[in-house]
Structure 1
Amino acid sequence: MPQLIAMVIVVVGAMIYMFQTFGGTGDKIEGIAQKTSIITEINNIKDGVKIAAKSGQIAATAKDDKVNNLKGLASLSYFAEQINAQLTDTTNNAANANIYNAISFGGGVITGADNNSDMQISLVTPAVSGTVKRTPGIFVDFSKGGLKTNAAFLESQIANDLSAVAFIDRTSTTATAKAGVINDAGSAIEKRTPAIGKTKQDANGNTVADDPTSAELGDGKFIIYFKDFGSDEVVQ
């Protein structure tokens, strides 16, 4: 009997933990399984972007052999065959030239202007800031399709998992970098990574960091700037 009581206590404790951690819903548990595929898709794009940046082929404005969107990189075969094929498909709507619809979540060619794919990834190409060439970013959006139910949970999980290897701007809603850099007096990577978050004026008129809203933290849209991009892996 004591063993049975102990077993019941363990099971009940586990159920309480699951409820507190995942909100008591199957959606959150499913979200953990989805997270692995999301990070894999992000890394698939990151690898191609990193190589292209090192080759000097990413620019804020396309010119000569330099490109400024995912379709341009795919035309140069910087990604896996399936990704290249989707992005360069002649029936793909022009509005999706800088959007990769993650294959892991059923993404494919979109012939119309409306794109409601579950997970969309875009290239962020910040222009030169003063004399500083900045690091390219990866914009992730799962607010439109089947992942939007778990958008807040997934965004939080991805941001937490990648926090050691990337700067993440959870206040961004488009594939557009903010002006300036994270810290022009900071580390080498901070000096070339676009600014993240948002700012406000304090009572003394000084520009200070502003806290993101709960809506911004849970909309399923964010930009990732990986910290392992070197000084020669920047946007031209």
Structure 2
Amino acid sequence: MPLSAIYFDLDGTLVDSEHLHAVSWNKVLAMFDLHFSEAEFCQQFAGKPTLEAAKVLVEEHQLSLSASALAKKKHTVFAEISKLHLPALLPGAKALLAWCREQGVKVALVTGSAKEEAHSILTGHDLAKYFDVIFTRDDVEQPKPHPEPYLRAIAHFSLTASSGLAVEDTVTGSSSAKSAELYTVVVPNKYSLSADFSHADDRCSSLFDVQALIASKL
């Protein structure tokens, strides 16, 4: 079946923002004398929504703050920092989004980031105009790796999963897309290169390769 919709993740897939997420977490966790290297952060939390990461941190380190309060602080810090130090788009990201629009397919953003975090990046790079719909962590009850985020996006378009393709960079995200029965393409980031993506349908080394793959399926 020809593709009718493309579903994109944001962090690590379209924008190189994992470093900024690590910096934001470290600023928040400094009050508890906790610090993670970027590699440690990405290996443990890349792809996980902020609230879910906060729950792990509160439990593992017995923090004197609720997970929701910790997550809210991180959302605020990330939004503030990203306005001053906007993370770069990954090579080919904007061109790929524009090209998808030109093909006449539906384009959705399905991100585990909170609305506040995603908004700062979408605004900074003027990306919102490329998407027909945007689903953030705030729009779902059960975040990735649960399939709900993608199922909601599919339902929004009144399409079947078999007519869609998802692009992800982590096991958390690709598991969500695959569980929603989407054709799932992974473009691993430098921290997920060695992850087990055996559940995915295809693997690309760049967004340029993703464009070629999509073109072959239109």
Same fold (TM over 0.5): no
> Which one has the bigger helix percentage?
2
Higher relative contact order, chain-length normalized (CA < 8 Å, sep 6+): 2
Give the structure-1-normalised TM-score: 0.29
Give the structure-2-normalised TM-score: 0.31
